[in-house]
Structure 1
Amino acid sequence: MAAGSISGTEFANQANIFFTLSVKNNDTWDLKSSPHDRNEVYLTKRCSVEVTDNTQASTNPNIAEEEEADAQESDVACLATPPSPSSSVCQFEYHIVYSASYGVPVLYFNAYTKAGKLLSLDTIWNSVPQHYQDRFQHERWSILTQQEHPILGRPFFQLHPCHTADLMSKLIPNSCSGNYLLSWLSAVGPVVGLKVPLSYVTR
């Protein structure tokens, strides 16, 4: 196993640990099994995210998480403040799926307007915080791509896993120690508006 990568079994164990943390923190991550293989698990979450065109914004949008009042809804609001006139609230669906090819988790997601229209790849890229845009400018379409979901077979946006093992080898030198999935999501989630509540690491 390459440095910074984990096995499918380790991913399943990490997913169960992360799901337990989600329940303890009243978050809405769900742990699901593949319809093709019960031993293949993945995590899902839906939430509302304030989307701003950061190619013209001088500051990053303030995206934070708070639970919606309606307990019947599976969505969770990620907004600390009402959207500004130049931004809009969109529904994001995030999936964490294991890639056997790369030996790492992969973040898949789709984003929709309130009317149910799928956001374009350009719109998604423009909503990425400016410092990430600057960092990935020359490889933007290799980092952020649209691919078929490996389990559901539907088009999803994807944060490409090509650099994940290298990133994780620096964050967690020994991949099997610590909470690999939590560390990974804390590092990559903010690129596409997904933040891990501080309570995950303080409780």
Structure 2
Amino acid sequence: MAAGSISGTEFANQANIFFTLSVKYNDTWDLKSSPHNRNEVYLTKRCNIEVAENKQVSTNQKQSSSQTANQSIAEEEDVDVEESDAACLTTTPPPSSSVCQFEYHIVYSASYGVPVLYFNAYTQDGRLLSLDSVWNSVPQHYQDRFQHERWTTLTQQEHPILGRPFFQLHPCHTADLMSKLIPESCSGNYLLSWLSAVGPVVGLKVPLSYVTS
């Protein structure tokens, strides 16, 4: 295997261990098998996240003071998230926000030799969030970090197992990232290390209890 990647068998083994920890700590991850191949497994999780709504400022509502205008722009661009699930990112919700359901899937990519994080986000009435809305839910420091490659970092692709559209954190840089995080001779904590690194980008983090185990 190339540096920073794992085999499908290693992924399946680590997914089973991860699911066992989820049960132990009363987390909400589930382990599922592909309907096409029972040996192909993937992890799923759902949690509710409070997402700030974008504020649109009309042209006839210009502020007379530049200080007020700057404050309005800052409020328009500021998007925080808070969630009800302990294993998801928690921040202070803004005054104007709505609760959305995020559905996360961890699927192995044979092409890249790495796990891939797929997800969808829905409003309370079942509407799928747009790519722009999903990007706005990303914590601001990650938006700043990926601003020049935002649409190659976060894309919409067909789920490789379910065959329907999902958002995806693109795996093209995953092997390089993991080769720096984990020595090539040690892959025992690969899945936990990977999810700890990429999950917070889309509001998901691994509880410390998983790592200490």
In the superposition, the TM-score normalised over structure 2's length comes to 0.83
CA distance in 2, matches of 1:135, 1:41: 32
Question: Matches of residues 157-196 of structure 1 in structure 2 within 5 Å?
Answer: 157-174=167-184, 176-196=186-206
Q: Percent identity?
A: 84
The number of residues matched between the two structures is 192
Aligned to 2:40: 40
Q: Deviations over 1:43-100 (max 9, x none)?
A: 001110122358622x84445733xxxxxxxxxx858578432222100100000000
Asked whether the 8 Å contact 1:147–1:155 carries over to 2, the reply is: yes
In the alignment, structure 1 residue 141 sits paired with structure 2 residue 141: no
Asked whether the 8 Å contact 2:48–2:84 carries over to 1, the reply is: no
Asked whether the 8 Å contact 2:51–2:82 carries over to 1, the reply is: no
Aligned to 1:65: 85
CA distance in 2, matches of 1:20, 1:175: 24
Unaligned runs of 5+ in 2: 55-74
Aligned to 1:56: 77
CA separation of 1:175 and 1:142: change in aligned 2, threshold 3 A: farther
Q: Which 4+ residue blocks in structure 1 deviate beyond 6 angstroms?
A: none
Letter in 2 for 1:65: D
Aligned to 2:13: 13
Letter in 1 for 2:85: E
Asked whether the 8 Å contact 2:105–2:118 carries over to 1, the reply is: yes
C-alpha RMSD of matched pairs (Å): 2.1
CA distance in 1, matches of 2:179, 2:51: 31
Asked whether the 8 Å contact 2:99–2:124 carries over to 1, the reply is: yes
Name the structure with the higher helix share: 2
CA distance in 1, matches of 2:37, 2:5: 22
Asked whether the 8 Å contact 1:42–1:96 carries over to 2, the reply is: yes
Larger radius of gyration: 2
Aligned to 2:163: 153
Name the structure with the higher strand share: 1
